[in-house]
Amino acid sequence: MSASDAPSERAASPRRSWGPLALALPALVLLVAVIGYPLATIVIRSFTEPQAGLQNYSWFFSTPVNLVVLQRTFTISAWVTLVCVFCAYPFAYAMTAVGPKLRMLLTLCVLIPFWVSGVVRTLSWVILLQDSGVINSMLRSVGLDGVRLIRTQTGVIIGMAQVLLPFMVLPLYSVMKGIDLRLVQAARSLGAGPIRAFFTVYLPLSLPGVYAGAIIVFILALGFYITPALLGGPRSTMLSTLVQNQVLSLLQWGRGGAMGVVLLVATFLLLALAGPLMRQRHKQGTR
């Protein structure tokens, strides 16, 4: 009997052609020129300067401070990503739930930081976080002990999360606004309370947005330079600061290049691990 209800025929997929590729050509040329070429140079120099061989890599892995900083870079980036997820998730949800005018306002709140230079934003965090800054004055005025925020890992995480928040909010919002809220209603009718309905229906459907945002934020955080340099202390140095030190202060281009390559390879490894997870979600999430 069930065969009599055959699926309706699918629309034929448009034929693949190389034509549209021409549209991508200007951007491709630019990317190859400004990213591909310098990248290739860095990789080559890391193996050839001061002389050919693996000495830059053996230096990197045999110097304890490098490994500590590498690990710290990943730890801080993971924390920043986590903070961003927890701040951005309710914010992005609110963007889908409010009316058009409020949504405009919330979108502006996300975008305004993009229009302010990163240095300015970080310096304003210095004002807020420093020992005699706004936060500590407020704490003391209500009789609490001040906390040390500037030149600590916490300060760096706060500052970086603020800068990177839009990169989490926007992909989350774009996924969330595609979620059919009537599915949540259906879950309610089937016996799920609001919390169960959220965890069994809404959250799984929003995960592609979480993954996309998390990967963007994490990768951007790995390469962060200005914010950790200004908000952090010696104990919160990230890899980019070491690279800068090697290249600009010590003129060790080979060593700096090796550090960059290590970071790049580690990032690719992480992406390769996250990739299959995301593809699976994506397949299930299509309607």
Binding site for other proteins (CB under 8 A): 1-2, 4-8, 180, 182-183, 185-194, 196-197, 200-201, 204-205, 281, 283-287
Paired tokens of 125 = 């965090």
CA dist list (Å): 149 to 69, 152, 161, 197: 20, 6, 14, 39
Q: What angle do CA 53, 56, 62 make, to 5 degrees?
A: 120
User: How far apart are CB 197 and other proteins at their closest, in Å?
Assistant: 8
The DSSP element (H or E) to which 243 belongs, if any, is helix 239-244
Q: Least distance in Å: CB of 286 to other proteins?
A: 5
The residue among 10 and 16 lying less far from other proteins, judged by its C-beta, is 10
Cα separations in angstroms, 83 against 160, 161, 167, 245? 10, 7, 12, 29
CB nearer other proteins, residue 211 or residue 253? 211
Under 8 Å between Cβ of 107 and 95? yes
In angstroms, the CA 67 to CA 244 distance is 16
Nearer to other proteins by Cβ, of 71 and 185: the residue is 185
The CB-of-213 to other proteins minimum distance in angstroms stands at 18
Shortest distance, position 205 Cβ to other proteins, whole Å: 6
CB closer to other proteins, 111 vs 186: 186
| Pairwise CA distance, residues 116 & 112, whole Å | 7
Sign of the CA dihedral 232, 45, 62, 271?
A: positive
CB 236 within 8 A of CB 152: yes
Find the length of the chain: 287
In the bound state with other proteins, the residue whose beta carbon lies nearer, of 43 and 184, is: 184
Smallest distance from the beta carbon of 203 to other proteins, in angstroms? 10
Single-letter amino acid code for the residue at 200: T
Smallest distance from the beta carbon of 195 to other proteins, in angstroms? 10
Distance CA 9, CA 50 (A): 64
Measured from the CB atom, the residue of 8 and 249 that comes closer to other proteins is 8
DSSP 118: H
CB of 180 to other proteins, least distance (A): 7
- Toward other proteins, which CB reaches closer, 139 or 181? 181
Nearest to 246 by CA among 56, 52, 36, 54: 56
